[in-house]
Chain A
Amino acid sequence: GAVVSQHPSWVICKSGTSVKIECRSLDFQATTMFWYRQFPKQSLMLMATSNEGSKATYEQGVEKDKFLINHASLTLSTLTVTSAHPEDSSFYICSARVKSGGYNEQFFGPGTRLTVL
């Protein structure tokens, strides 16, 4: 199947700093990538849809000025958590949809665990 990578896999930062997370499609081109957030013992929640060459589409309740998304190429999308605070500590996962056997299968990156002190 398609491979999606994320970097870094984990990060610890001080409150008020910004953190950039990269999501790459390694063996395919992804015009659309998705960013999810998962808090402990909760389900994945879609934060935004990242579109190559255009603005991201944010879900209701997600601050676009706080979670900056850039999809500069067909293989890279970045999520920057600006002025991070402890409540932003979470597991951030990106994904991409790939057509497989006539259906759109979703492949997830390995996730980035963010801890804000």
Chain B
Amino acid sequence: RKEVEQDPGPFNVPEGATVAFNCTYSNSASQSFFWYRQDCRKEPKLLMSVYSSGNEDGRFTAQLNRASQYISLLIRDSKLSDSATYLCVVPSPTEVSGGYNKLIFGAGTRLAVHP
């Protein structure tokens, strides 16, 4: 089983739709979680951090379910500019590199928002 798994998509949705992505993680000791957004041929950029049960920022809501070991990202009122790949990232609770917990990246879920 992969350490971080995501549905690759693509999710094709119309503008204004609500879309949700799930991400499952294998290590139950994981404490923090991140959603990054990556545009084509660009670097990942932090979208949201999740340290407790969830986090909300405008149209974006992240929820954590520790019992089932998954994190979700909900996007409401989708915009064309939301089209990107969304990466679920989980710091490994056991692997350390350079004094930091090694980040484990999911393969990403691609979102395409159309007019």
Contact = CB atoms under 8 A, between A and B. Distances in A.
Interface of A: 32, 34, 41-46, 49-51, 57, 59, 91, 93, 97, 103-106, 108-111, 113
A106 B103 CA distance: 9
Contacts, number: 50
B87 A43 contact: yes
A43 B108 contact: yes
B5 to A, nearest CB: 10
A33 B84 CA distance: 26
Given A43-B87, A105-B49, A108-B45, 17 more contacts: A32-B100, A34-B98, A43-B4, A43-B107, A43-B108, A49-B97, A57-B97, A91-B41, A97-B100, A103-B32, A103-B49, A103-B51, A105-B46, A108-B43, A110-B42, A111-B41, A111-B43
B46 A113 contact: no
B108 A46 contact: no
Nearest to A97: B100
A46 to B, nearest CB: 6
Contacts of A45: 105
A98 to B, nearest CB: 11
Nearest to A10: B41
Range of interface residues on B (Cβ < 8 Å): 20 to 34
A110 B41 CA distance: 9
B99 A32 contact: yes
A41 B87 CA distance: 12
B31 to A, nearest CB: 11
Nearest to A4: B43
Contacts of A42: 107
Contacts of A106: 46, 103
Nearest to A108: B43
Contacts of B100: 32, 97, 104
Nearest to A49: B98
Contacts of B103: 46, 106
